[in-house]
Amino acid sequence: MLSLPRKQSLIGYVLILPALLIMSSLLLYPFFYATWLSFHTKMIGAPPIYVGIKNYIDILASKDFYIGFLRSITYTFPAVFLKLILGLGLALILNQEFRGRRIMRSLAIVPWVLPVFVVAFIWMWMYDYALGALNIILRSLGLPVNRWLSRENVMASLIIVNVWKGFPFFFMGILSGLQSVPQDLLDAASVDGASTVQRFRYVTIPYILPVIYIVSLLSIIWTFGDFTTIWILSRGGPGDASLVLPVLIYQTLYAEFDAGKASALSILTMPFSIFFIYLIVRLLRR
Amino acid sequence: MSEPKKVGRRTFLNYAIAVVATGVIVGAATYFAVPKEVTTVTAPGATVTTTKTVTTTVAGTPTPTPPTTPPGKPKLTAWYRMTFLEDFNVYLREKTLEWAQKRGVEVELSQLPFTEIYAKLTAAIDAGNPPDISLWAPLALAAEKPETRLLLPVDDVINEIGREDFYKPAIKVGSIEGKAYQLPLWCEPYLWHIRKDVLEKKGIQVKSPLSWKEAKDIAEKVNDPANDFYGLGITLGMNEDTTNQWNSLWWEFGGQYFTTKSASGVKIKSTATREAVEYLVDAYKRKLIPPDAIEWDAAGNNKCYIGGRGMMVMNPASIMYALNKENPDLFNKTLLVFPPVVFGGTNGFVVYKTCKYPDLAKDLLAYILKDKESYRKRLIEPSLGYCCPIYKSIAEELKKIPYWAPFANAVEFTHQSSYPIDEPCMALDEAGPKYIIVKMLQKILLEGQDIDAAIDWAHNEYVAIFRKHYGD
């Protein structure tokens, strides 16, 4: 006969099992279905036809996949780095005591709470060559206007939008990390003669480092999967200048109507995300 | 007393994995064991935008239903494409709910922006779970191939309303093998929008139709890039307007996508294509077209004209609608003229085979379209030309209004991408959103690729798509 604690703990586990089962199904079913589909040609509205690894061969032989991957990397890492720098800087400033700090903190998270398509449309107008706010400002200052979404500038312009929308996430995370730094430790460091930079380097940073890791990794995964901003602003163009993988997957599904190939593309992008998810899980275990 | 046993994390995980694995195996077995006609697709990155859903449950005596109708209270699900014309959306909603109330039918109506209805309908068609009715549908996908056809013919509705009053081309663009699968509602032609005041200033006369060659001559006379004013506000960006404008230009030079629906029928590689490409490349290099046109979205040419940067643009008359509201002065200075071959879309209602109450669905459509007076006053006239009528009688009335006179009957000479056959074509539906024509132009303009090489590339892309759908 089972003892009471064992019974109790078993009941507890049994009670959470339905939720676990549902969650697993919600996660596993689409994954397995997408994997299964990736071995088929599946035109929308038609039954799937088994084609083995043909979709994978086609994708790996196609230039677009490598362009998409390269563009995704070019988009993701600078954007995450800039968000980190901006978020950290702002968090350090707004962690200080001063009048209006609460309002500033609230304002700082506005870009984060705006829906992504609203942000994209706002920036679409900002970037407009003739009527956009940025060029109007440049003109009024007597400076040459810029073609923000040209082949040469489009990636930088898209990164700016992503940074603007995403830096508050870093700010909020790092700010909460900063608030956990014990004041007496900072005071002790001051008494010991540590400069502001040294206190930051040897006391603050070690405390907020786990937060920085987590928000950065999450942001890498999200930014890598960003679709809406790029689709609304450039549709992957001009040419293939902003053809990131999510745009390529979308085009494969909704232009080619080929769900099998789109699934294969998605599966091929997964190792990247899984690697960063693995890092997050490892960090969370520490 | 022995230490109370606890379930360790490892043990629990083993249990959990066993249960989940059983679930997955049972689920997979069930999935494969049950025969399915259609399957679900997870759409990556599908945009989520505002959806207006109105449901009405009306008390009253339901309309007598045909013998095939299942028992119980009838319910219809309808998805309508929204336009930027708010009155238009309101009218269709009101009319639908009015019908629902009269017939005692429950109608669940969703009005969705184009991008959303496109993604939603595509997924719903694949899942075999479309609505009962939709305003707009990927026609070729839903009806071109008999084995996967999901639409019901609507010839009976057309006959009930009065076939003789419909413009034939309006019906033809939604017909396959002689049967109409779309009940047309409006036609959206691409027109030249031209600055009358600049023409007068330069003493230039313009007659309809205005050819692309003539347009270029005019553009040269008025072009002033130093002052950010361009003769041709033609978009070259990654958007559907670029392909739509290209169609009109290319057709004027004698081009067409295919002669027969087969890989060997593709006609991209042609003298007409080369001439049309040369036309655009020359105009772009000489700055008759704004340099930033290559990165415009679909609203780029609208903004170019409304912002006073363009002498002429080609677009549906949504520009006029915006000008009338926001810049009446420029509205009055704008002349609407046709090109020799007009591109445009004809939008309409479809009824799906999966509908449990097809007679009710068709009755609703007839109810909306039979009220021609309201159709004219609430859908067509307020659109200022964005929506052109599909009825001859309405077009004749509108012709009495000077503004409408040149294009009231636009549906008669407006063509789809599949010009000159003007029937749904799956391959062209696939090629459009892939922006093959745009990419061909951008390869030349941005990457400096040789014109013939770029045309070859586009030709091969089209051949591959046609082969996939229709074979060699």
Mean pLDDT of B105-134: 88
Which residues does chain A have within 8 Å of residue B149's beta carbon, measured at their own beta carbons? none
Could you say which of A10, A129, A147 has the minimum Cβ distance to residue B7?
Answer: A10
Q: How confident is the model over B416-470, as pLDDT tens digits?
A: 999 998 989 989 988 888 899 999 999 999 999 999 999 999 999 999 999 988 9
A-chain residue closest to B144, CA distance: A45
- Predicted confidence at residue B13, as pLDDT, reads 60
Using the predicted structure, report yes or no on whether residue B261 has a pLDDT greater than 90: yes
Hey, how many other C-beta atoms are within 10 angstroms of the C-beta on A203?
17
User: Which tens digit of pLDDT belongs to each residue from B22-56?
Assistant: 555 555 544 444 433 322 222 333 322 333 433 33
pLDDT at position A252: 86
- Helix locations, chain A, DSSP H: 4-37, 54-61, 63-94, 101-108, 110-113, 116-127, 133-140, 154-178, 183-191, 196-199, 205-224, 228-233, 245-254, 259-285
Yes or no, beta carbons of B4 and A237 under 8 Å apart: no
B210 in Cβ contact with B337 (< 8 Å): yes
- CB spacing of A236 vs B238 below 8 angstroms: yes
For residue B329, give every residue at least 6 positions away whose Cβ sits within 8 Å of its Cβ, in sequence order, or none.
none
Confidence at residue B57, expressed as pLDDT on a 0 to 100 scale: 35
What pLDDT, on a 0 to 100 scale, did the predictor assign at position B24? 55
Contacts made by residues B86-89, CB under 8 angstroms, sequence distance 24+: B87/B378, B87/B382, B88/B378, B88/B379, B88/B382, B88/B383, B88/B387, B89/B52
User: pLDDT for A115-160, tens place per residue?
Assistant: 998 999 999 989 998 888 999 999 999 999 999 999 999 999 999 9
- pLDDT tens string A60-81: 998 999 999 999 999 999 999 9
User: Would you say residue B5 has pLDDT above 70?
Assistant: no
Q: What is the pLDDT of residue B223?
A: 96
Between CA A175 and CA A198 the distance in angstroms is 19
Looking at the partner chain, which of A24, A34, A44 has a beta carbon nearest the beta carbon of B122? A44
Chain segment A9-48, per-residue pLDDT in tens: 788 888 888 988 888 888 888 888 899 999 998 877 778 8
Instruction: Give the closest-approach CA distance of B300 to chain A in angstroms.
Output: 8
Q: What is the pLDDT of residue A119?
A: 94
A257 pLDDT above the threshold of 90: no
pLDDT at B63: 40
Does the structure show a pLDDT above 70 at B71? no
Average pLDDT over residues B194-198: 96
Q: Is the pLDDT of residue A262 over 50?
A: yes
Measured N-to-C along each axis, helices A154-178 and A116-127 cross at an angle, to the nearest 10 degrees, of 130
Of the candidates B229, B193, B188, which has an alpha carbon nearest to the alpha carbon of residue B331? B193
What burial letters (b/e) apply to B228-251, b meaning 16+ CB within 10 Å?
Answer: ebbbbbbbbbbbbbbbbbbbbbbb
Determine the pLDDT at residue B106. 93
Rounded CA-CA distance B78/B75 in Å is 10
Say whether pLDDT at A2 is over 70.
no
Mutation target vs B (from A118, A235, A249, A265; most B CBs, 10 A cutoff): A235
The three-state (H, E, C) secondary structure of A67-84, written as one string: HHHHHHHHHHHHHHHHHH
Q: Which residue has the higher pLDDT, A251 or B23?
A: A251
Q: Cα–Cα distance between A217 and A274 in angstroms, integer?
A: 11
pLDDT digits (tens, 9 = 90+) for A237-250: 898 899 999 999 99
Query: Which residues in chain A have Cβ-Cβ distances shorter than 8 Å to B424?
Result: none
Give residue B16's pLDDT. 60
CA A15, CA B285: separation in Å to the nearest integer? 70
- Per-residue pLDDT at A282: 80
Summarised one tens digit per residue, pLDDT across range A199-231 is 888 889 988 988 998 899 899 999 999 999 999
Q: Is residue A59 pLDDT above 80, yes or no?
A: yes
Fold held by A62-285: MetI-like fold (1.10.3720)
The single residue listed with the structure tokens 């960006």 is: B237
Question: Which residues are CB-neighbours of B245 under 8 A, at least 6 positions away?
Answer: B190, B234, B235, B301, B314, B343
What's the pLDDT at B19? 58
| Three-state secondary structure call for residue B441 | helix
Spatial distance between the Cα atoms of A48 and B38, rounded to a whole number of angstroms? 9
What is the average pLDDT value for chain A, to the nearest integer? 89
DSSP character at residue B34? S
Instruction: Please state, rounded to an integer, the average pLDDT across all residues of chain B.
Output: 86
Residue B56 pLDDT? 35
CA–CA dist B236, B300 (Å, integer): 9
Can you state the angle between helices A63-94 and A259-285, rounded to 10 degrees?
Answer: 40
Report the pLDDT averaged over residues B88-101: 94
User: CA-nearest residue of chain A to B228?
Assistant: A130
Whether residue B180 has pLDDT greater than 50: yes
Residue B349: strand, helix, or coil: strand
Query: Are A127 and A148 spatial neighbours (Cβ–Cβ below 8 Å)?
Result: yes
Does residue B142 carry a pLDDT above 50? yes
Residue B304: list chain A partners with CB under 8 A. 130
Residue A185 has pLDDT above 70, yes or no: yes
Query: With an 8 Å Cβ cutoff, are B45 and A151 in contact?
Result: no
Residues of B within 8 A of A13 (CB-CB) are 7, 12, 15-16
Nearest CA distance, B235 vs chain A (angstrom): 12
Q: In what order do the strands lie in the sheet with B310-315?
A: B230-232, B310-315, B191-195, B334-337
- pLDDT (0 to 100) of residue A136: 92
What residues does B56 pair with on adjacent strands?
B107
Q: What is the CA radius of gyration of chain A?
A: 24
ipTM of the complex in this document: 0.72
pLDDT value of residue A48: 86
Hey, what domains does chain B have and what are their CATH numbers? 52-189+345-414 (3.40.190.10), 191-338+435-470 (3.40.190.10)
Kindly determine whether residue A237 and residue B237, on different chains, have CB atoms separated by under 8 Å: yes
Residue type, B57: T
| Record: contact B446-A239, CB cut-off 8 A | yes
pLDDT for B141 equals: 84
How far apart are the C-alpha atoms of B343 and B316, rounded to whole Å? 10
Question: With 90 as the cut, is the pLDDT of residue B290 above it?
Answer: yes
